[in-house]
Homo-oligomer: A and B are copies of this chain.
Amino acid sequence: MDNFTYQNATKVIFGKDTEKQVGEETSRYADRVLLHYGGGSIKKYGLYDKVVNSLKEAGVEIVELGGVQPNPRLKLVKEGIELCRKEGLGFILAVGGGSVIDSAKAIALGVPYDGDVWDFYTGKAEVKKALPLGVVLTIPAAGSETSPGSVITKEEGWYKRPVNHDLLRPQFAILNPEISFTLPDYQTACGTADIMAHVMERYFTNTANVDLTDRLCESTLKTMIKNVPIVLENPEDYDARAEIMWAGTVAHGGLLGTGREEDWASHDIEHELSGIYDIPHGAGLAVIFPAWMKYVYKHDLKRFAQFAVRVWNVEPDFNNLERTALAGIERLKEFFSSIGLPVTLGELDIPDDRLEEMAEKCTENGPVGNFVKLYKEDVLKIYKMAR
């Protein structure tokens, strides 16, 4: 096990009707805030009204900035920064999924920074300050509600890049699984791939002796494998929605990566897809992750065999661990298919003509991944395996 520092101070308020607490929680930090959200769904299903009423009752005034798109854009972030400065706002309330939260985090970074907020995403600037923020979550997927990460897409060149810092963990995250009842099946499935990918990026590690975190990872994956089919059958199954929502937060809160080197190649490889083709990140991950696995599994057959046996209940073949390992990868792929996700670039209607360009962009700052370091040629092979 490696040395580590871990602190996740976000206050999680979980369960039925918890969105009604948003006013009280927010009022601990500010009496005027930026209310940041996406498209129409929070208005359509009544969440917007509930949040606004709760804020009003707590005496919190709002300035609004809606319109966050999936794969959130730098342009809107910059609008948000200007708006906060102009209005003198010191707290951001994000109501939405990962895109809205990531956009809010980017605004939180940008307001107290003199330069271009994109500097944080290229590594040119180091995070030292950020406005505090709060979250009302609508989609279990990104884990951004307690994570230190934000991923933003810059329209010029369609670069999609992440930044991570503990100052970006929200002060509070309100999670009501009922809010996810109205998610379309495809969005539930994309969120599932994202959640499972967050676990798997941590699971495939070169760090030896990570028993507890291995098992915590496996627990989170098994919880998803059990509960996602239940909600696809019955979208209003509260308990299954609750398991998925809590698993999504636990998956990316940081505990599952303690004491181990993490990988993150598949995320980097996927970011080129969703950056350029504007597909859902989770759909891209469902395509890339199994291809990545098939490319790297020989690097640690025993770990892939453990994944197959413990997560997918594959019977271990001790005389042929490779067969065991491959069976696990196959089960993952079948699971993604069974919940309606694409598992090939073809199913995403992504043509072959820009694979090389994406492989180039993905590795322009050096190789990606830690489990196996992947250079341009490796990434290109993975894209080709994913066709």
Which positions in A face B, CB cutoff 8 Å? 1-16, 18, 208-209, 211-212, 215-216, 218-220, 222-223, 226-227, 238-240, 242-243, 246-247, 250, 255, 258-259
Instruction: Give A310 Cβ to nearest chain B Cβ, in Å.
Output: 10
| Docked complex Cα distance between A74 and B254 (Å) | 37
Q: How many copies make up the complex?
A: 2
Instruction: Give A315 Cβ to nearest chain B Cβ, in Å.
Output: 15
Which of A211, A223, A227 has the most CB atoms of chain B within a 10 A radius of its CB?
A211
Residue contact B11 to A243, C-beta cutoff 8 Å = no
CB contact between A15 and one of B3, B16, B218, B246 (< 8 Å): that residue = B3
Which residues of B have CB within 8 Å of A250?
212, 216, 255
| Docked complex Cα distance between A219 and B199 (Å) | 15
Which residues of B have CB within 8 Å of A220?
212, 215
Instruction: Give A334 Cβ to nearest chain B Cβ, in Å.
Output: 21
Residue contact B9 to A4, C-beta cutoff 8 Å = no
Residue contact A239 to B14, C-beta cutoff 8 Å = no
- Once A4-B15, A10-B7, A216-B219 are accepted as A-B contacts, the answer to whether A246 and B258 lie under 8 Å apart by CB is yes
Residue contact B212 to A223, C-beta cutoff 8 Å = yes
Residue contact B7 to A9, C-beta cutoff 8 Å = yes
Which partner residue on chain B sits nearest A221 by CB separation?
B215
Which residues of B have CB within 8 Å of A8?
8-9
CB contact between A246 and one of B1, B13, B227 (< 8 Å): that residue = B1
Residue contact B255 to A255, C-beta cutoff 8 Å = yes
Residue contact B9 to A243, C-beta cutoff 8 Å = no
| Docked complex Cα distance between A215 and B223 (Å) | 8
